[in-house]
Amino acid sequence: MSVHNSKDIRKVTTHRLNEMKSRNEKISMLTAYDYTMASIVDKAGVDVILVGDSASNVMAGNVTTLPITLDQMIYHGKSVARAVKRALVVVDMPFGTYQTSDVEAVQNAIKMMKITHADALKLEGGVEIIDAVKKILAAGIPIMGHLGLMPQSINKYGTYTVRAKEEDEAEKLISDAILLEEAGCFTIVLEKIPAVLAKKVAEKLTIPVIGIGAGRYVDGQVLVLHDMLGMSNGFSPRFLRRYADLNSVMTEAVKHYVSDVKHQDFPNETEQY
Ligand code: KIV
């Protein structure tokens, strides 16, 4: 098994992701919503940066991903794409921008690509959105699918628990994944489903399958950056591994600053003109 060579600064393309799957090199993907974070994540060598509509929760403090607008996603997408040199940049199409009509879906997709300069778009859903997927693909825009727990449908599910545990839902997920691959999607994200089901999908498809809470037998992993850095408090699903405790680091730094200002320790003689 080969691993990522950090000296490899060639731009990641959809084609290269396919090559990674063929040689069993796992794909790393993280979210980013702004220039500074995207720049750090890209330089650290992540393969795919997702400008997720989780920006609605993480950046704007909404309870769900539903309120974020097309213009807000374009703003985040543009900020990220401006920072990134190597990673493939994928932007989420927000809720309501691709479900109403195929024409509207393709118009919104083109607008997102034109303004953000991203490399691809991600849409949630299978058979229900397949006509929109085909139209957007026909316009030359690469699409990442998203199945399993689909946060834009949270009001239909009523819960964020593991999806596709029952056989009929698992079967639909497999047929949706095949449909998305046949339509021409370049990858599929599987969110919060049993690891054995995700393994089955990854083995069936030739395109890479990237999991979040979908176990270790898929072709790559994605996490929300602010969660894995330990910036967000109170969100601890089983699948989340925290690689840092930035919440504590940042809180301590801010407390230190406040104290320095109050005690007239900051600024000192060398920190003034
Ligand atoms: O919006 C998002 O961050 C996502 C990931 C959870 C895959 O869709």
Are 173 and 261 part of one and the same domain?
A: no
Tell me, using a 6 A CB cutoff, whether residue 52 lines ligand 1. Answer: yes
Q: Which atom of ligand 1 is nearest to the CA of 124?
A: 8
- Give the pLDDT score at 74: 99
Confidence grade of residue 273 (pLDDT, cut at 50, 70, 90)? very high
- Give the pLDDT score at 9: 84
Are 33 and 168 part of one and the same domain?
A: yes
Are 231 and 96 part of one and the same domain?
A: yes
In a domain, 3, yes or no: no
pTM above 0.85, yes or no: yes
Q: Which atom of ligand 1 is nearest to the CA of 92?
A: 1
Are 46 and 166 part of one and the same domain?
A: yes
In a domain, 1, yes or no: no
Are 178 and 113 part of one and the same domain?
A: yes
Catalytic option among 191, 203, 252, 269? 191
Digit-coded pLDDT (tens) for 214-233 = 999 999 999 999 999 999 87
State which of 92, 187, 188, 228 you would mutate to test the pocket of ligand 1, scoring each by most atoms of that ligand within 8 A of its C-beta.
Answer: 92
Are 219 and 260 part of one and the same domain?
A: no
The CA 159 to ligand 1 mean position distance, Å, reads 16
- Give the pLDDT score at 6: 55
Are 265 and 160 part of one and the same domain?
A: no
In a domain, 259, yes or no: yes
Digit-coded pLDDT (tens) for 43-85 = 999 999 999 999 999 999 999 999 999 999 999 999 999 999 9
DSSP 93: P
In a domain, 148, yes or no: yes
Confidence grade of residue 7 (pLDDT, cut at 50, 70, 90)? low
What range defines the domain where residue 264 resides?
A: 245-273
Digit-coded pLDDT (tens) for 163-221 = 999 999 999 999 999 999 999 999 999 999 999 999 999 999 999 999 999 999 999 99
Residue with tokens 């543009």: 78
Distance in angstroms (rounded) separating the CA atoms of residues 149 and 125: 10
Tell me: pLDDT of 161 over 80: yes
**Helix 35-43 vs helix 70-83: crossing angle, to nearest 10:** 40
CATH number of the domain residue 140 falls in:
3.20.20.60
Tell me, using a 6 A CB cutoff, whether residue 222 lines ligand 1. Answer: yes
Are 178 and 271 part of one and the same domain?
A: no
The CA 261 to ligand 1 mean position distance, Å, reads 39
Digit-coded pLDDT (tens) for 78-116 = 999 999 999 999 999 999 999 999 999 999 999 999 999
Confidence grade of residue 3 (pLDDT, cut at 50, 70, 90)? very low
- Tokens encoding 7: 């000296």
In a domain, 27, yes or no: yes
- Give the pLDDT score at 235: 86
The CA 224 to ligand 1 mean position distance, Å, reads 7
In a domain, 98, yes or no: yes
Are 168 and 253 part of one and the same domain?
A: no
Are 273 and 175 part of one and the same domain?
A: no
- Atom 2, ligand 1: which residue's CA is nearest? 52
- Give the pLDDT score at 2: 40
Domain count, the chain: 2
In a domain, 8, yes or no: no
Mean pLDDT of 130-138: 98
3-state secondary structure of 68: coil
In a domain, 6, yes or no: no
Are 130 and 88 part of one and the same domain?
A: yes
Q: Does residue 191 have an active-site annotation?
A: yes
Q: Is 49:80 a contact under the CB 8 Å cutoff?
A: yes
Tell me: pLDDT of 39 over 60: yes
Residue with tokens 């890209």: 42
State which of 27, 41, 49, 222 you would mutate to test the pocket of ligand 1, scoring each by most atoms of that ligand within 8 A of its C-beta.
Answer: 222
Q: What is the H or E stretch that residue 225 is in? A: helix 225-228
